[in-house]
Structure 1
C-alpha cells in the first residue's frame, strides 16, 4: 500500500462502493421516505450478490499483492518462519483486506440462510472491518511521521466516521441521515486514499522544502527543516478542509438532483409496479413479457438495485 498504486487502487474501490451506496440510499428514500430502511449492501437484478462478490475479489487481489505477487514480497516469511520487520506493514494491509473479505462472505451466508438478524449482524461485521482498519492504521508498524503521517492521521478521522455510522446504523436502521453519512464517508475514504497516493508519490506535488526519500524500500516524504515540515502539514490541513467542502457539496447536490428526478417519476414508477404485481392470468403471455420489460426498464433506470 505504500505507493501510488497501493493507495489509488483501494481508493477507487472505496469510491465506487460509497457512490453505489449513496445512489441506492437516495433512491430508496426518495421512493418512500416514510418506510425507509437502510441496507449494508444492495442486491442487483441480474446477479444478486455482485457487490459482495466484487468486494471479495478486490480484497483477495489486495492480499495476494501484499503477500505474494508484489515487488520483493515473493517470500513474506523468513527462512525460520517468522515475519521480517520490513514485511510487517504488508501483513497489516493484508489483514485489513481479510477483514473486509470476511464481512462480504458472511453477508452472503447470512442472506442465503435468511437469518432474522442478518441486517444487524452484517452491519456489526462491517463495523468490525472499519474498527480493524482504524486500529491498524493507528498502530501501524510503519513509523508514519512527517507529511505521510499527517495524511494518514486525517484518514483515521474519516474511518472513524465510517465506524461510528456503521454502529449507529444497527440501532437506527430507519435513519436516512445515518445511512447517507455512512455512504458519503466510505466515498470520502476512497477519495482521500487517491489524493494521498498522488500527493505523496508524485514529485511535482511534493511541498517546497521536502523531498522523496527511499527508506528500506519504502518511499517517504521528508523535509529539510522543521519550518518546511510545518508548512507541509498546514498545506495538508488546507487540502483536507477543501476536500471536506467538496465532498459535502457533491453529496448534497447528488441528493437534491436525484431526489427531484426520482420524485418526478415516482407516480409512474408506482403505477408500473402495481401493473406488474396485478397482471391477469388471461393476459399472462403478452403481459408477462411486457411486465418483465417494464421491470427491467426500471431496474436499469435506477441502477439495477433490486429493492
Structure 2
C-alpha cells in the first residue's frame, strides 16, 4: 500500500501541475499573441498577496524536500537504511528542488530575465536525470512492470525534448504545450501504474502480484503472468491505456484552447497591450533621464 500511495501522490501532484501549466500557457498565448508569447517554466498565482504569488515554486520545493526525506527514511518504515533504489528516487527530487530553489531565487532578486535560459536548463536537467535513473534503475523491473516503466520512459523523453526545445526557442508555443501535456501524461501514468501494479483487484487476468524476494533482489509488487498469452494480453492492455490516456489529455487540451479563446475577449488583449505600452513608455523615460544626466 505504501508504494501505491507513493505513485498516487506523485501522480496527482504532476497531473495538477501539468493542468495548471497548460491552462496558463494557452491563456498567455491567446492574450499576448504569437509575436509576444514567451515560454514560462512556472506561473505566478494571480493574487494581491505577495507571499502567494510564488506558491507553485514554494510547493514544488517543499514537496521535493519532503519526498527526499521520505526516500531516505524508507517510508512507511521511517528508519534510515541505505537502499540504492530509494537514493535513486531521492536524486530525482534533488534536481527538482534545485530547479524550484533557483527559480524562486531569481524571482526574489528580480533576475529572472537575466537567467531565464539557465532556468530552462535546470528544468531540462530534471527530466534528463529522471530518464537516466529510470533507464538504469537498480530495481529489477521485469515483465509487465518493466513494460509500464518502459512506456513511462517514453513520456519522460518527450518531456526532456520539449523542455530543451522551450529553452532553445523561448517563443515556441508548440514546445510549451507539449511540455505541459507530457507533465500531465506523466502524472496520469503514475496513477495508472499505481492501480494496475499495486492493487490486486486491477491486476490483469492471468497475472498475479509477487510480493516476495527473488535471488536477494527485492521485487516490490512485481506482476507475474502465468502464461505467454496472459503476458501479451496484459502488455497489450497497457499499450491501450497509454493511447487512451494520451487521447483524453489531447481532447482536454483542445477543449481548453477553444474555451479560453472564447473567454479571453478583445478586452483582455487591449489590457495586455496597455500594460506593455506603459512598460515601454517607462523604459523610454528612464533612458532619456539617464542620457540627460
TM over 0.5, yes or no? yes
Deviates more, 1:32-41 or 1:132-141: 32-41
> Could you say what secondary structure the match of 1:140 adopts?
coil
Say whether the 8 Å CA contact 1:14–1:186 is kept in structure 2.
yes
Unaligned ranges ≥5, structure 2? 279-293
Q: Report deviation, 1:266.
A: 3.1
> Could you say what secondary structure the match of 2:254 adopts?
helix
- Answering whether residue 43 of structure 2 is matched by residue 38 of structure 1, we say no
Say whether the 8 Å CA contact 1:2–1:219 is kept in structure 2.
no
Deviations 1:105-125 (A, max 9, x none): 011122333155321100100
- Answering whether residue 48 of structure 2 is matched by residue 52 of structure 1, we say no
Q: Report deviation, 1:273.
A: 8.4
The corresponding residue for 1:242 is: 244
Q: C-alpha distance in 2, partners of 1:187/1:159?
A: 11
> Could you say what secondary structure the match of 1:212 adopts?
strand
User: Structure 1 residues 171, 229: closer, same or farther in 2, change over 3 A?
Assistant: same
Deviations 1:11-69 (A, max 9, x none): 11111111111111111111121311111111223323211100011112211221216
The corresponding residue for 2:225 is: 223
> Could you say what secondary structure the match of 1:267 adopts?
helix
Q: C-alpha distance in 1, partners of 2:178/2:10?
A: 20
1:70-219 equivalence runs, <5 A? 70-76=75-81, 83=82, 87-113=83-109, 114=111, 116-216=113-213, 218-219=220-221
The corresponding residue for 1:3 is: 3
Q: Report deviation, 1:221.
A: 0.8
User: Structure 1 residues 271, 51: closer, same or farther in 2, change over 3 A?
Assistant: closer
Runs (4 or more) in structure 1 with deviation over 6 Å come to none
Give the counterpart of 2:234 among 232, 235, 252: 232
Q: What RMSD in Å do the two structures reach over aligned CA positions?
A: 2.1
Say whether the 8 Å CA contact 1:111–1:118 is kept in structure 2.
no
> Could you say what secondary structure the match of 1:3 adopts?
helix
Q: TM-score, normalised by structure 2?
A: 0.85
Q: Report deviation, 1:226.
A: 2.2
Unaligned ranges ≥5, structure 1? 77-82, 279-307
The corresponding residue for 1:287 is: none
Q: C-alpha distance in 2, partners of 1:24/1:268?
A: 14
Q: TM-score, normalised by structure 1?
A: 0.81
